[in-house]
A = this chain, B = another copy of it.
Amino acid sequence: MFSALKRLLIGQPLKSAELGEQKLNKTKALAILSSDALSSVAYGPEQILIVLITISTAALWYSIPIGVGVLILLLALILSYRQIIFAYPHGGGAYVVSKENLGVNAGLLAGGSLLVDYILTVAVSISAGTDAITSAFPSLHPYNVNIAILLVVAITILNLRGITESASILAYPVYLFILALIILICVGLYKGVTGTVTPEMHAPIGTPVAGITLFLLLKAFASGSSALTGVEAISNAIPNFKDPGPKNASKTLAAMGLLLAILFSGIVYLAYAYGIAPKAEETVVSQIASQTFGRNYMYYFIQGTTALILVLAANTGYSAFPLLAVNLARDKYIARMFTIRGDRLGYSNGIIFLAIMSIILIIAFKGRTEHLIPLYAVGVFIPFTLAQTGMLVKWVREKPKGWIVKLTINLIGALISFTVMLIFFITKLGQVWPVFIFLPLIVYTFHKIKKHYEAVSEQLRITTCEPSIPIKGNVMIVPVAGITHVVENSMNYAKSLAPDQIIAVYVAFDREAEKQFQEKWECWQPDVRLVTLHSHYRSIIQPLTKFIDTVEHKANESNFRVTVLIPQFIPKRNWQHILHNQSSLLIRAFLLYRRDLIVTTVPYHLKK
């Protein structure tokens, strides 16, 4: 039944050979990998205005030069990442680049912050999208958390189905959002120029404003650069692209950069031109849309696609997280299970892990994850900086043709990213301090795991030439609970293997039962030695393990192996399992992990 449900939700399994067919063309890749970056337009410009309004409405004109600054940062990042794509065609982005050029710890720092960041992406985007939905339908508001969890589950199922099928469904909303915003910008500009809509008063650019400080402008710039979260997604996902991967990826990256630039500057300019000030109860995009169109169908179209793309931004996390996890797992820094492809060729474990972690975040923060945004942004600029610096080192070290230009591009990228990161730490320390705790912790865990994997493979390697001591003989211990077909079955099996000794063990709770059982056993299996143990505390495991210890100790002396044979009857139907004492399972679990024993389960299947 479970597997039928799985088939229905996830689809039929795909053969490994079908991997190629699951890859992305450029149109789909743009949709699937850029929803995070593009959706940032919905809140990035607003972040700038929120900082500026703390001075006065006159200060709002600074959004224009700050916007230009963000555009320059965007250009630098796009150019830098373009170089990364060609230099590292197998993907991996910040993690691989930092690791190879700056050393292991820098790589792990980048990788760790990105892993956490993708989880934050999912939690934050889904929560924001849910807010947008429940703002439209206020009666749904009490169910915010439930709706957010449902959305996570839905996106998880889409991703478990496989990446291209998800893309087909997810592409429409992204393109609709782009279309909606471009219409908004064009109509807004046209109406502004023709004067159909009278722009409100706004201070001309260059108006001197009292009280403006560099600190404040930097803070506004840093806030605005939260619009750039998500631009690294493409460089991590090159293996998902159709061949030739790097070329397709770089074209997609350029297209995304262009779109992001257009939408961002359009929104920033219109906000300035219409003299819009940020309000707590209405977003800047919503204000622009309602001034341009009034509250008609176009307004709702824009609001609707904005809500949708916020939800879909979460999907970027789903594309990027499993791929990064694979890279880390291949290097043995996280559990090996992240490298296994599922039935539909996606890395199911990564997808499921991401879903669980983000659901935990959503529940823990009751769907109100807004104050995670600065944390999220700083978590992005750490790997940005590391990756650019890594490229810098690479160019200096390798000095390929035209390296001076390449160096310059990455140098600018590194400097700007580093500055933004510093600004975050300085201006928003109260919100980003957890970074200083969890990042070292994550890097420590990575090392710990790697060390363990290496110790294991060291011990398993057969070339260590530790001569294996031959086994001289076998002792079999059979815990018995009564004189039944189940025990008979196990006894027959033990005898058929002809070990050197078979010992049946019976744990009695009172002397009466003990004596009775011994007599019965004598008649039934006179050739098998029976040991009865007395249990004062009604525990079966304690006396049993004590006895087994003694046997094992003796057996080890003469290099005998001890096998515990557990007779177990298997009921016909699943629900019936709960009706039977789980003693045999308990015994097995207990013995296997505590002692060097071989444990054999001899099943006896019931027929009715």
Which of A's residues lie within 8 Å of B, judged by CB?
A: 13-17, 335-337, 340-343, 449, 452-453, 455-456, 459-462, 464, 466, 468, 470-471, 473-474, 482-486, 488-489, 492-493, 495-499, 509-510, 524, 536-539, 561, 563, 568-571, 576, 578-582, 588, 592-593, 596-603, 605-608
Contacts and interface: CB of A to CB of B under 8 A. Distances in A.
A536 B17 CA distance: 8
A261 to B, nearest CB: 42
B576 A452 contact: yes
B471 A485 contact: no
Contact of A485 (B14, B462, B570, B599): B462
A548 to B, nearest CB: 14
B602 A459 contact: no
Given A456-B569, A456-B606, A466-B485, 9 more contacts: A15-B536, A15-B537, A452-B576, A460-B569, A462-B524, A474-B496, A497-B499, A570-B592, A599-B603
A462 B484 contact: yes
B16 A510 contact: yes
B335 A579 contact: yes
Given A335-B578, A459-B485, A493-B471, A537 B600 contact: no
Contacts of A569: 456, 460
A602 B489 CA distance: 21
Contacts of A580: 336, 456
Nearest to A536: B15
A468 B456 contact: no
B579 A453 contact: yes
Nearest 9 interchain pairs by C-beta: A471-B496, A460-B484, A600-B600, A15-B536, A13-B537, A335-B579, A497-B497, A599-B601, A455-B608
A363 to B, nearest CB: 14
Contacts of A15: 536-537
Contact of A462 (B483, B510, B571, B576): B483
B592 A598 contact: no
A516 B399 CA distance: 40
A608 B576 contact: no
Contacts of A538: 16, 340-342
Contacts of A486: 460
A529 B536 CA distance: 49
Nearest to A604: B460
A345 to B, nearest CB: 8
A407 to B, nearest CB: 40
Contacts of A602: 598
A488 B471 contact: no
Contact of A452 (B461, B489, B509, B571): B571
A489 B462 contact: no
A539 B343 CA distance: 8
A468 B607 CA distance: 15
Given A16-B536, A449-B579, A452-B571, A488 B459 contact: no
Most chain-B CB neighbours within 10 Å: which of A15, A485, A488, A498? A485
9 contacts: A462-B484, A468-B492, A471-B493, A471-B495, A496-B561, A497-B499, A588-B601, A596-B603, A598-B600
